[in-house]
Structure 1
Amino acid sequence: MKKSVLFLFGLILSMAVYAQTPPVKIVFDVTSGEEGVHQSAMRHISVMANQYPDSEFEMVVYSSALDMVLKDKSSVSKELEELAKKENVTFKVCQMSLDRYKLPTSSLIPGVGTVPDGILEIIKKQQEGWGYIKESK
């Protein structure tokens, strides 16, 4: 009987701590062309967006990572399109990178937006107090 009461008390205490977690804002930086990095980044943002629904998450994709957000090349297109529908998740791709590779915005997975400069977007987010996660190997 004692163990079950202690377990229940611990469960209630952990739920109270979780409920008091303040919302956060996190920007994810993805530049790798590696599919494994794309899949890992999607797992991270998915888990966090579901675990912390009052928080905001933005993934910024640029440089060699463009395949991640292209309809005909992405290994995570289904997951990305579904996550992009969530209120607390946004996906942005660098317009300069699209221009460099001569890719039209129509080649992007639905739900992916553009920003003029991916690096500048990340810097602005950090200036606004957003946390930063670099997704890499």
Structure 2
Amino acid sequence: MKKLFTLFAFLLGYILSYAQSDYKVIFDITSKNIEDHNTIMRQINGILKGSPDAQLEVAVYGDALDMVMKDKSTITSAIKDLINNKKVSIKVCGATMKRNNKNASQLIPGVEIVPDAIYEIITKQKEGWGYIKVAH
């Protein structure tokens, strides 16, 4: 009986630790609406408060481009704070940047460029990540 209890306790601990570290979500934002930019920051910080080990990513494309531009973003400090967390990444669509004649030097430092944000989202979903669209 003691061995069975020990095995059960070990398995329960393993399952709980695996479940906590397996929290992965990609956020999709295409909106230029500043309220949406603030919403995504609030959602991410809320998740991190409850699950500090969560892996979170923001895919920025379309009209949301200003959100990650040094000279246009209204949430630069919030983005910088999130980027300092190794569990969070902000990725912008390279195709959107090209369409808008923007380059990497114009981004908030730490924002990464991916070739295509939609492909990034699909890839994460295939890997089992949750998906949240942020928009009005």
Residue 63 of structure 2 aligns to a residue whose secondary structure is helix
- One-letter amino acid of the counterpart of residue 47, structure 1: G
Q: Match of 2:81?
A: 82
Q: Match of 1:22?
A: 20
**How is 1:124-135 mapped onto 2 (pairs within 5 angstroms)?**
124-135=123-134
Q: Match of 2:64?
A: 65
**C-alpha RMSD over aligned residues:** 1.2
Q: Deviations over 1:65-120 (max 9, x none)?
A: 00000011001111001110001100000000000000011000011001000000
Deviation at 1:51, TM superposition (A): 2.1
Under a length normalisation based on structure 1, what TM-score does the superposition of the two structures give?
A: 0.83
Q: Deviations over 1:7-63 (max 9, x none)?
A: xxxxxxxxxxxx765231000000001001001111111221232111100000000
Q: Match of 2:47?
A: 48
Kept in 1, the 8 Å contact 2:20–2:51? The answer is no
Gaps of at least 5 residues in structure 1 are: 1-18
Q: Match of 1:7?
A: none
- Number of aligned positions between the proteins: 119
Counterpart CA distance in 2 for 1:65 and 1:29 is 10
- One-letter amino acid of the counterpart of residue 77, structure 2: K
Kept in 2, the 8 Å contact 1:59–1:92? The answer is yes
Residue 89 of structure 2 aligns to a residue whose secondary structure is strand
> Identity, % of aligned pairs?
43
Runs of 4+ residues deviating >2 angstroms: 19-23
Deviation at 1:131, TM superposition (A): 0.2
Kept in 1, the 8 Å contact 2:31–2:135? The answer is yes
Kept in 2, the 8 Å contact 1:90–1:112? The answer is yes
Counterpart CA distance in 2 for 1:54 and 1:93 is 23
Q: Match of 1:123?
A: 122
Kept in 2, the 8 Å contact 1:49–1:88? The answer is no
Q: Match of 2:102?
A: 103
**How is 1:2-21 mapped onto 2 (pairs within 5 angstroms)?**
none
Kept in 1, the 8 Å contact 2:29–2:60? The answer is yes
Counterpart CA distance in 2 for 1:22 and 1:84 is 21
Q: Match of 2:35?
A: 36
